[in-house]
């Protein structure tokens, strides 16, 4: 049985509670949240024990789940790691690179499992591509959201774009060569909309647009590579692949003929099967499994660090804005 303590039971924290309750071999020891009204609601809806002392909750559990605003991620991570507790922390890993660096060091010393909540890695649209060979050379991303004051304590880069940065760093097997970026603070005092171009040493280029001031939602990533186009819709949890048919492929596979400068070629359209799985439940279950089986976590502290590193370079490029 894994004993877990939840820190921060606001909007996302409540979803975490619901999911932990459905995951086997897990006991929620209790929660810590300084907001009395939120704590009251959580006690009445979920019947969980409230701890008013953070250290006491840490002492009683094997692992902590940190779903607090970004500014407090480090303080809770540090307290838990110093007591050698496993840590799941929401994205972004921390508020600044100094904190992120310290978390890497503390995790190494604590010898525990550490996972960051880059939940799109568990999105069925992304999981469905696991069997396919992905080597993108051009990437176009749009992540647009309606305005919501929650999350605006950090810029749109650390709030939304960081999801796509993590996925791209995971897919592109090369180091970042150059970043260009522009962003504007429209409603808050940090960038609310931004466009970024990331160039990699292998020639891959990624264009990312993120906005938290849009009227409609969109979370699309389009990948172009030799002989294939791959589209991911993180909102609809669907993906599609349009690719050149291999010469030795089954005659019966449905394909379309297109005329190219090299003659007629066959193009195959595939919609990889996606299980309509709950991505939050999948990420929390994978954290539990990493602890039980002593295997690496799927999104490690280093992954969280690398995503933050790129996000902060972007914020430096945007300049003239308050950098979180």
Indicate which single residue of 119, 167, 299, 310 sits in contact with ligand NAD (rule: CB under 6 A).
119
Which range of residues in 28-36, 164-172, 227-235, 260-268 is near ligand NAD by CB under 6 A?
A: 28-36
Question: Under the criterion CB under 6 A, does residue 177 sit at the interface with ligand NAD?
Answer: no
Interface residue with ligand NAD among 27, 34, 146, 217 (CB under 6 A) is: 34
Question: In the complex with ligand NAD, which residue's Cβ is closer, 150 or 177?
Answer: 150
DSSP codes, 138-197? EEEEEEE----STTTTS-HIIIIIHHHHHHHHHH--S-EEEEEEEEE-SSSSS-SEEEEE
Report how far residue 48's alpha carbon sits from residue 107's, in angstroms, rounded to the nearest whole number: 28
Q: Please state the closest distance from residue 250 (CB atom) to ligand NAD, in A.
A: 39
By CB under 6 A, residue 33 contacts ligand NAD: yes
Window of 7-15, 97-105, 121-129, 173-181 that interacts with ligand NAD by CB under 6 A: 7-15
Residue 134: phi, psi to the nearest 5? -115, 120
Identity of the residue, 197 or 220, whose beta carbon is nearer to ligand NAD in the bound complex: 220
Tokens linked to 26: 């897990």
Q: What is the dihedral of CA 244, 246, 249, 251, to 10 degrees?
A: 50
Closest residue by beta carbon to ligand NAD: 10
- Which of 35, 84, 98, 135 binds ligand NAD (CB under 6 A)? It is 35
Complex with ligand NAD: residue 34 or 296, whichever CB lies closer: 34
If one counts every other C-beta atom within 10 angstroms of the C-beta of residue 41, the result is 14
Closest to ligand NAD by CB, 76 vs 311, is 76
Tokens (6 digits) for 145: 């959201």
Residue closest to 114 by CA, chosen among 124, 126, 102, 125: 102
Task: Answer yes or no whether residue 16 interacts with ligand NAD by CB under 6 A.
Answer: no
Among 2, 4, 7, 298, binds ligand NAD (CB under 6 A): 7
At 70 the three-state DSSP class reads helix
Structure tokens at 194: 């931004």
């Amino acid at each position: 049985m894994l004993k877990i303590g939840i820190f921060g039971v606001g909007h996302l924290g409540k979803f975490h509670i619901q999911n932990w309750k459905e995951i086997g071999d897990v006991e929620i020891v209790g929660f810590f949240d300084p907001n009395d009204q939120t704590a009251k609601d959580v006690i009445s809806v979920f019947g969980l024990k409230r701890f008013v002392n953070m250290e006491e909750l840490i002492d009683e559990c094997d692992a902590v789940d940190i779903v607090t605003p970004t500014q407090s991620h480090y303080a809770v991570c540090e307290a838990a790691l110093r007591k050698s507790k496993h840590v799941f922390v929401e994205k972004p890993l921390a508020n600044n690179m100094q904190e992120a660096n310290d978390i890497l060091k503390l995790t190494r010393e604590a010898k525990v499992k550490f996972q960051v909540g880059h939940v799109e890695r568990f999105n069925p649209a992304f999981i469905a591509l696991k069997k396919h060979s992905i080597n993108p050379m051009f990437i176009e991303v749009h992540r647009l959201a309606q305005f919501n004051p929650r999350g605006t304590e950090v810029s749109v880069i650390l709030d939304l774009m960081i999801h796509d940065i993590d996925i791209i760093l995971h897919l592109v097997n090369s180091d970042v060569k150059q970043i260009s970026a522009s962003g504007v603070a429209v409603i808050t005092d940090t960038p609310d909309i931004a466009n970024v171009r990331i160039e990699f040493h292998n020639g891959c280029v990624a264009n990312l647009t993120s906005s938290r001031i849009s009227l409609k939602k969109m979370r699309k990533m389009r990948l172009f590579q030799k002989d294939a186009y791959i589209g991911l819709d993180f909102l609809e949890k669907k993906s599609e692949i349009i690719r050149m048919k291999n010469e030795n492929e089954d005659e019966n596979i449905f394909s379309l003929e297109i005329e190219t400068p090299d003659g007629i070629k066959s193009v195959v359209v595939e919609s990889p099967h996606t299980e309509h799985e709950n991505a939050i439940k999948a990420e929390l279950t994978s954290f539990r499994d990493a602890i039980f089986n002593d295997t690496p976590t799927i999104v490690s502290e280093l992954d969280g660090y690398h995503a933050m590193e790129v996000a902060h370079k972007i914020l430096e490029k945007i300049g003239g804005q308050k950098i979180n």
